[in-house]
């Protein structure tokens, strides 16, 4: 991080602009940030992070709100830049702790309302639809909105006017020269604020490692058209359910080539309905058919638009790949189009699907061999253009892993931003900005909050460590039943194992472990319930030593002493 001034003594009610990132600065996803002036604050985005292989059993990861709540700020509102899960997915969990009005554009609000209804929060949440170039007042903040292009429609960036200066927050953006909906990035509004002088620019860092420009969503149309023209059988297009513009192109091509469209996946169906209802998606009349009607249509008249492009285990594509879907089976002559990028960590699952579809006679097109996807994030030339346009006093790279933030910081310096005014922040960095200086007040400790089923925050790193060990080496359980009063053994020791060895070698392992435990019991000869407290740990170690000698493995060993 660039050098910052020495932290001052904090006043009880400071009247300076404070920024607190709670997610998205140090990882891709979980975007959330608070802006504060005095005792008032507002939140930008409330996103989630999808778990990786190090988080077995975890459904979602959401921001830690404790650091925010500990500040005692009056939260004036929650402003959402667009409708992706990494920006809105944690909102229901945030609203359970923070009651504040939610501000979003029409499509984003539609996606949010669908989510809030699932959590029974729709009626209790104050919702306000916002529009570009229509500012709102949030206490001491005046928040203006400018249109940006992204892979989901109706996204906005923010121009936040504070008593200490203007902050530009880009949101997720790119400069699309030919947007599908004709809604260009509002450079005019950005320029108008730049002419007044901008205190700080926070800019999307996701694609900073890619040279050049991202390109238009419309640029993939010729390749999709080629696929539709040559396909003799069914066309299956897998993409993100939020990519309404991609969906629009598939509908248009299906109409042009005389194909009916089947929507597969709850989120795909739901998002299409919301986008169509609010005027962001044109669905040709009569083009949609139910999945169960596919047998009545010739294959050359069918387009299947599906989720599951990341190889999710229970997705339609995965079920089809292994011939487990109730209605859809892969046929020779099928054309699969994976119209999305391979998210790091998902490559193996996606490649498995590609291989299985090919094995069953389908042809597969995907990014890398065919131009069937374009990103929604700005690349280096576009990021440079934004810095040149805004010419901020301070530059703060946002939305990215640390390597992205670092590269974006270097880019800003190349564009003339002084080194001491380029700030690389991470989640939990409480920073105070004025025109004269930037001060790192504190590095607040943040933890990741894991959502596991109905549990929120009740799974920690110790639980995840145990789950990883269980998944890697299995478990051995030693059970003994003793008399509650006498401490004498009534039954056992019984030994059980799960995930340790093959079934045909398990009896030998269990017999050997039981004998090792019995030898310890003879040595200890516990006679009272209190004696068993010491015996319990000795039993565990004896069982573990035997398994390690026999198999060279160290499973989790659990000792159960039951009193009756």
The pTM (predicted TM-score) of the whole model is 0.82
Among 240-244, 318-322, 463-467, the range scoring the smallest mean pLDDT is 463-467
Residue 69, phi then psi, degrees to nearest 5: -65, -30
Instruction: Calculate mean pLDDT across residues 81-101.
Output: 95
Name the pLDDT band for 1 (thresholds 50, 70, 90).
very low
Q: What is the pLDDT of residue 52?
A: 55
Domains of the chain: 17-212+375-456 (3.60.15.10), 219-366 (3.40.50.10710), 474-563 (3.10.20.580)
Instruction: Calculate mean pLDDT across residues 90-108.
Output: 96
- Please report, for the chain, how many H helices and E strands are present, in that order: 15, 27
User: What would the pLDDT profile of 487-515 be if each residue is shown by its tens digit?
Assistant: 667 676 777 776 666 555 567 777 777 88
Q: Are 35 and 44 in contact (CB under 8 A)?
A: yes
Query: Rounded CA gap, 464 and 526, in Å?
Result: 34
Catalytic residues: 204, 377
Q: What is the pLDDT of residue 564?
A: 67
Q: What is the pLDDT of residue 9?
A: 34
Is pLDDT of 545 > 70?
A: yes
3-state secondary structure of 398: strand
| DSSP result, 152-192 | SSSEEEEEEEETTEEEEE--S-B--SS-TTS----HHHHHH
| DSSP result, 437-498 | -EEEEEE----PEEEETTEES---HHHHHHHHHHHHH-EEEEEEEE-TTT--EEEEEEEEEE
518 against 463, higher pLDDT: 518
369 against 461, higher pLDDT: 369
3-state secondary structure of 321: helix
Q: Are 245 and 217 in contact (CB under 8 A)?
A: yes
Query: Rounded CA gap, 540 and 477, in Å?
Result: 9
Instruction: Calculate mean pLDDT across residues 15-22.
Output: 92
3-state secondary structure of 202: strand
Q: Are 222 and 372 in contact (CB under 8 A)?
A: no
Which residues in 514-552 are b (16+ Cβ under 10 Å) and which e? bebbeebbeeeebeeeeebeebeebbbebbbebbeebee
Q: What is the pLDDT of residue 324?
A: 86
Is pLDDT of 50 > 60?
A: yes
Q: What is the pLDDT of residue 510?
A: 76
User: What would the pLDDT profile of 166-179 be if each residue is shown by its tens digit?
Assistant: 999 999 999 999 99
Round the average pLDDT of the chain to a whole number and report it.
87
Angle at 194 between CA 189 and CA 196, to 5 degrees: 105
User: What would the pLDDT profile of 19-36 be if each residue is shown by its tens digit?
Assistant: 999 999 999 999 999 999
Residue showing tokens 């094995």: 359
Query: Rounded CA gap, 271 and 51, in Å?
Result: 23
Q: What is the pLDDT of residue 4?
A: 44
288 against 474, higher pLDDT: 288
Beta strands across the sheet bearing 60-62: 60-62, 449-452, 455-456
Is pLDDT of 532 > 70?
A: no
Instruction: Calculate mean pLDDT across residues 518-538.
Output: 68
| β-bridge mates for residue 237, sequence order | 305, 337
Beta-carbon count within 10 A of 389 CB: 16
Name the pLDDT band for 100 (thresholds 50, 70, 90).
very high
Name the pLDDT band for 51 (thresholds 50, 70, 90).
low
454 against 94, higher pLDDT: 94
User: What would the pLDDT profile of 407-431 be if each residue is shown by its tens digit?
Assistant: 999 999 999 999 999 999 999 999 9
User: What would the pLDDT profile of 233-263 be if each residue is shown by its tens digit?
Assistant: 999 999 999 999 999 999 999 999 999 999 9
Residue 22, phi then psi, degrees to nearest 5: -110, -10
Among 98-112, 151-165, 335-349, the range scoring the smallest mean pLDDT is 335-349
* Bond into 62 cis (ω within 30): no
What percent of the chain lies above the pLDDT cut of 70? 85
The DSSP bridge pattern shows strands 141-148 and 155-162 to be antiparallel
Within 13 Å of residue 360, how many CA atoms lie on the same side as its CB?
18
Beta-carbon count within 10 A of 384 CB: 15
Q: What is the pLDDT of residue 3?
A: 38
Residue showing tokens 């992204």: 150
Which tokens belong to 560? 């159960």
Nearest CA to 331 among 232, 207, 192, 193? 232
Query: Roughly what angle, to the nearest 10 degrees, separates helices 244-256 and 266-277?
Result: 90
Q: Are 310 and 277 in contact (CB under 8 A)?
A: no
Residue 556, phi then psi, degrees to nearest 5: -70, 125
Is pLDDT of 268 > 60?
A: yes
3-class SS letters over 231-290: CCCCEEEECCCCCHHHHHHHHHHHHHCCCEEEEECHHHHHHHHHHHHCCCCCCCCCCECC
Within 13 Å of residue 191, how many CA atoms lie on the same side as its CB?
5
Nearest CA to 444 among 91, 92, 52, 18? 18
Nearest CA to 72 among 18, 126, 146? 18
């Amino acid at each position: 991080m660039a050098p910052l001034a020495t932290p001052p003594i904090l006043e009880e009610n400071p009247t300076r602009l404070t920024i607190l990132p709670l997610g998205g600065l140090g990882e891709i996803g979980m975007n959330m940030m608070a802006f504060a002036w005095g005792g008032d604050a507002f939140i930008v985005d409330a996103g989630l992070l999808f778990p990786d292989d190090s988080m077995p059993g975890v459904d979602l990861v959401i921001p830690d709100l404790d650091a925010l709540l500990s500040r005692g700020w009056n939260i004036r509102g929650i402003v959402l830049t667009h409708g992706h899960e990494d920006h809105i997915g944690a909102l229901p969990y945030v609203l359970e702790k923070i009651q504040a009005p939610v501000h979003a554009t029409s499509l984003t609000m539609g996606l949010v309302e669908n989510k809030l209804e699932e959590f029974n929060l729709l009626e209790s949440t104050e919702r306000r639809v916002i529009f570009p170039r229509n500012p709102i007042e949030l206490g001491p903040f005046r928040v203006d909105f400018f249109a940006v292009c992204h892979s989901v429609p109706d996204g906005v960036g923010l121009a936040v006017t504070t008593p200490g200066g203007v902050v530009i927050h880009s949101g997720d953006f790119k400069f699309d020269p030919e947007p599908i909906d004709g809604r260009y990035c509002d450079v005019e509004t950005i320029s108008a604020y730049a002419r007044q002088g901008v205190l700080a620019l926070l800019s999307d860092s996701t694609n900073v490692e890619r040279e050049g420009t991202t390109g238009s969503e419309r640029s993939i149309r010729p390749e999709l058209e080629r696929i539709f023209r040559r396909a003799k059988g069914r066309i299956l297009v897998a993409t993100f359910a939020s990519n309404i513009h991609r969906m629009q192109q598939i509908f248009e091509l299906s109409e042009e080539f005389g194909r009916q469209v089947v929507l597969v996946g709850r989120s795909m169906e739901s998002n299409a309905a919301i986008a169509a209802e609010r005027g962001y998606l044109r669905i040709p009349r009569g083009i949609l058919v139910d999945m169960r009607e596919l047998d009545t249509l010739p294959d050359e008249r069918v387009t299947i638009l599906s989720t599951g492009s990341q190889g999710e285990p229970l997705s339609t594509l995965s079920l089809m790949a292994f011939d487990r879907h109730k209605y859809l089976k892969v046929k020779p002559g099928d054309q699969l189009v994976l119209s999305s990028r391979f998210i790091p960590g998902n490559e193996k699952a996606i490649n498995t699907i590609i291989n299985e579809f090919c094995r069953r006679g389908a042809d597969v097109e995907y990014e890398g061999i065919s131009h069937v996807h374009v990103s929604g994030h700005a690349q280096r030339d576009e990021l440079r253009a934004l810095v040149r346009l805004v010419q901020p006093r301070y530059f703060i790279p946002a939305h990215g892993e640390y390597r992205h933030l670092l590269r974006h910081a270097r880019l800003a310096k190349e564009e003339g931003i002084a080194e001491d005014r380029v700030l690389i922040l991470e989640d939990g960095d409480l920073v105070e900005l004025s025109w004269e200086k930037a001060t790192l007040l504190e590095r607040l400790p943040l933890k990741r909050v894991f959502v596991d089923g109905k549990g929120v925050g009740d799974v920690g790193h110790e639980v995840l460590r145990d789950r990883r060990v269980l998944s890697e080496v299995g478990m051995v359980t030693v059970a003994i039943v003793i008399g509650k009063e006498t401490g004498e053994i009534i039954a056992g020791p019984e030994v059980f194992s799960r995930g340790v060895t093959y079934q045909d070698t398990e009896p030998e392992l269990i017999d050997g472990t039981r004998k090792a435990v019995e030898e310890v019991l003879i040595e200890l000869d516990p006679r009272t319930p209190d004696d068993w407290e010491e015996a319990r740990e000795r039993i565990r170690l004896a069982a573990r030593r035997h398994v390690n000698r026999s198999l060279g493995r160290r499973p989790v060993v659990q000792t159960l002493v039951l009193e009756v």
